[in-house]
Each structure stands twice: as structure tokens, then as C-alpha cells.
Chains A and B, each alone.
Chain A
């Protein structure tokens, strides 16, 4: 029972964060929200007892956040008026 409640909370957080990440206008906020989404994905994989997938997701979350921030900085340098 406790496990089901925990999973339900984690899935609700995943859905809310996913909708926020794709609907927010600022790009940097979207990157940070995607990092949070990835973290909750890690927690739900752990709750589903798949530690290997959780580890991969954690590592990929870190690297993809670094990628997104770099691409965002490059985009900001090219078009400084939008995306502040």
C-alpha cells in the first residue's frame, strides 16, 4: 500500500513537471524543469526496483543538462534580444 502511494506521488510529480517543462516560455526554466523531471524519473525507476535503469537515467540527466545549458548559451550569444 505504501509503495503504491509513493509511486502515485512520484508519477503525479512526473506528469506535472513534464507539462510545466514543455509549456514554460523561458528556455532556461525549461532546462531546469527538465532536470527536475529527470530526477523524479530516477526516483520512480528506483521505486520500481530497476536500479540499473535509474543509474543510467541519472547520468544521462546530468549530461543532457550540460548539453542544454551549453546550447542555450550559444543561442543567447547569437540572438541576444530573445531568450534572456
Chain B
């Protein structure tokens, strides 16, 4: 691929307009997933799309290359595990949000626990989507894991 090769103006402007909207919508889907369709997986895939769209451009930035993506996926899974383990320190079972110490009322702890779990799922899915895309696409030097 040549360095001075240019993309079409349609792709450049379209991606530049789309990416902020996709990121905002992904956060909306994540935070509002309790009341409407959506949740961690969908938000994660939307964030992953926002990360892989610049890679389709020839002059785009490449966030989260190779090893970083794998590390981030592991961090998301670890965050899930950590949130799941918190109730076990307060006399509950794994993922039993009611005994979490954040609010006095156990009913208020449930949405918070589920939201934190979903954040972990989002991070893991986003990094996994980016990692799969990298392994399918063109290889560069910094992509080697």
C-alpha cells in the first residue's frame, strides 16, 4: 500500500461524522439497557465498530493494536470476576448483589451490580471484536501478538 494513496471523500467525511454518534449511542445502550433493549454485549459491539471503522480508512489511526486488545479483553473479564467476588466478602454468594455494601437497601444494589457487570462485558466484547478484526485483516508489524 502506498502512503500517498487517498480515500474517497465520502468515506472520510462519513466516518468522521459517524464515529462520535456511534460512541454516544453505545454508552446510551449500555446505561439505559435496564429499561430498553440493549446491554453490555450490544454496547461492546458498537464500541468495537467505532474502533474498527478508522482501520478501513487508509489514513486512519489504529487504536488498540494486537497485544493491547487482548490485554483489554482480559481486563474486562477480570473486572466481571472482581464485581462478582465482592458479595462473597460480605457473606453472600457469587454475583449475589443484594448484600453489596453500596446502598443500605438491597433492592437498590441490584441495578448497580448488574450495571457494573455489564461494563465488564462491554470492555471484553469491544476488545474481542477489534482483535478478531485484526486477525482477519491485513498484517502489519505491530499487529503480531
A70 at the interface (CB under 8 A from B): yes
Residues of B102-145 at the interface with A, using a CB-CB cut-off of 8 Å, are 129, 132-133, 136-138
Q: Which residues of A contact B52 (CB under 8 A)?
A: 66
Inter-subunit contact A67/B38 (CB<8 Å):
no
Inter-subunit contact A63/B49 (CB<8 Å):
yes
In the complex, how many residue pairs between chain A and chain B have their CB atoms under 8 Å apart?
A: 38
Partner of B37, one of A52, A60, A67: A52
B46 at the interface (CB under 8 A from A): yes
Give, as a whole number of angstroms, the nearest-CB distance from A49 to chain B.
Answer: 11
A71 at the interface (CB under 8 A from B): yes
Inter-subunit contact B133/A70 (CB<8 Å):
yes
Q: Which residues of B contact A59 (CB under 8 A)?
A: 42, 45-46, 49
Partner of B136, one of A55, A60, A62, A67: A67
Inter-subunit contact A67/B42 (CB<8 Å):
no
**Dominant SS at the B interface?**
helix
A51-B37 contact, Cβ under 8 Å, with A62-B49, A63-B48: yes
Number of interface residues, chain B, beta carbon within 8 A? 17
Inter-subunit contact A63/B129 (CB<8 Å):
yes
A29 at the interface (CB under 8 A from B): no
Q: Which one of A56, A59, A71 has the highest number of Cβ atoms from chain B below 10 Å of its Cβ?
A: A59
Q: Which residues of A contact B42 (CB under 8 A)?
A: 55-56, 59
Sorting the interface of chain A by its residue count into under 10, 10 to 19, 20 to 34 or 35 or more gives: 10 to 19
Give, as a whole number of angstroms, the nearest-CB distance from A55 to chain B.
Answer: 5
Inter-subunit contact A74/B136 (CB<8 Å):
yes
Give, as a whole number of angstroms, the nearest-CB distance from A6 to chain B.
Answer: 20
In the bound complex, what is the Cα–Cα distance between A59 and B38 (angstroms)?
A: 10
Inter-subunit contact B133/A67 (CB<8 Å):
yes
A54 at the interface (CB under 8 A from B): yes
Partner of A74, one of B38, B39, B138: B138
Inter-subunit contact B37/A70 (CB<8 Å):
no
Interface residues, chain A, with chain B CB atoms under 8 Å away:
51-52, 54-56, 59-60, 62-63, 66-67, 70-71, 73-74, 77
